[in-house]
Amino acid sequence: MKLIEVIADEGSVKTVAAIAEKHKVRDFRTGLKDKDDSQLMRLVVTDDKVQEVLDSLQGVLGAQTYAKLLVYPIDISLPKQTEEQEEKESKATQARESLYKEVQKNSRLDMNYLVLVLLSTIVAAIGLIENNVAVVIGAMVIAPLLGPNLAFGLGTALGDLSLMKNSLKTLFAGVLLAVTISVILGIVWPFPVTSPELLSRTDAGLDSIALAFASGAAAALSMSTGLPSVLVGVMVAVALLPPAATFGLMLGHARIDLASGAALLLAVNIVSVNLACKLVFLIKGVQPRTWWEKEKAKKAMRSYILVWVVTLLLLGLVIYVRTFSL
């Protein structure tokens, strides 16, 4: 459940009360009136109705420049809800404003992001070269690659070009940094190309598509429902960082044949993760508030899904040809 505080003109009380009644909120209260005639109102809303209530409130209070909506989580509520109510809340999609704030924070291209990519790439490269699975998994824990992928998927669902551009910039900056660091390591470190962990990232197969697709879908689903996404972030990082590191290491070793396989695997995984995110947000009904924004976002979503599907089919064809020719 959520507590929604509304600070608006005193004349809005009846309107907000009507919205509370329409959406059958758990509780509606009015607080003290301020000196500037602004009124405090509180609504207790179940998670499955938060987005509807917020949309209605924004629709009627949008003209009031000083109106504010504040949303707080409710950790404990007594008496306890029925099992049916708890089940409905557990299936509820987070409000788009909450999703937006989360992905925007986790997709910023700043020094923290670059340092985490740098450190995780070094750790992953060492794990791949030494054939140490535990070290590779450790690198995935600190790799910050989940945020930009989710942000790009959400930006597409909302038709937010700014979020899409920023997330793409962050994602490709991270991948480029990972590849660059790996190339340098490949040049200065004369390691034998015999590690099974390393060689497994130079061979893209149809199972790679399934793995990356499942990772992206799980990440989008966990975020949209408010479930912890730490372990899912590790899954997404597994699909992206090791192939990027392998690509750079093979380039540094002048093994173009192996580098091309790693590059193909990296491209397939990026496309699969992003396509899965978009499909999950589409199925969960994540969309803008106003009608014209919804229509605009739908057109953009269809176009981007079509582009990703065609790209994935082409990459799948390349994988098939490579596998058949070998």
Summarised one tens digit per residue, pLDDT across range 37-87 is 788 999 999 888 888 899 889 888 877 878 889 999 888 887 777 777 777
User: What is the CATH number assigned to the segment(s) 2-90?
Assistant: 3.30.70.120
**Alpha helices (H) in the chain, listed in sequence order:** 13-22, 50-61, 83-90, 96-106, 111-129, 133-142, 146-158, 161-188, 196-199, 206-224, 230-252, 256-283, 291-325
Q: What is the pLDDT of residues 83-102, one digit of tens each?
A: 777 777 666 677 778 888 88
**Domain definitions of the chain by residue range:** 2-90, 96-325
Sign of the CA dihedral 290, 291, 297, 298?
Answer: positive
Share of the chain above pLDDT 90, in %: 29
Which residues neighbour 148 within 8 Å (Cβ) at sequence distance 6 or greater? 106, 107, 167, 168, 170, 171, 174
Tokens of 142: 């600190």
User: What pLDDT score was predicted for residue 222?
Assistant: 80
Q: Say whether pLDDT at 180 is over 90.
A: yes
Q: Which of the given ranges, 29-38, 74-83, 171-180, 208-217, has the highest pLDDT on average?
A: 171-180
CA dist 174 and 180 (Å) reads 10
Q: Using CA atoms, how far apart are residues 312 and 229, in angstroms rounded to an integer?
A: 25
Residue 284 DSSP symbol: T
- pTM for the predicted model, two decimal places: 0.77
Q: How far apart (Å, rounded) are the C-alpha atoms in residues 145 and 269?
A: 12
Q: Does residue 94 or residue 201 have the better pLDDT?
A: 201
Whether the predicted pLDDT of 227 surpasses 90: no
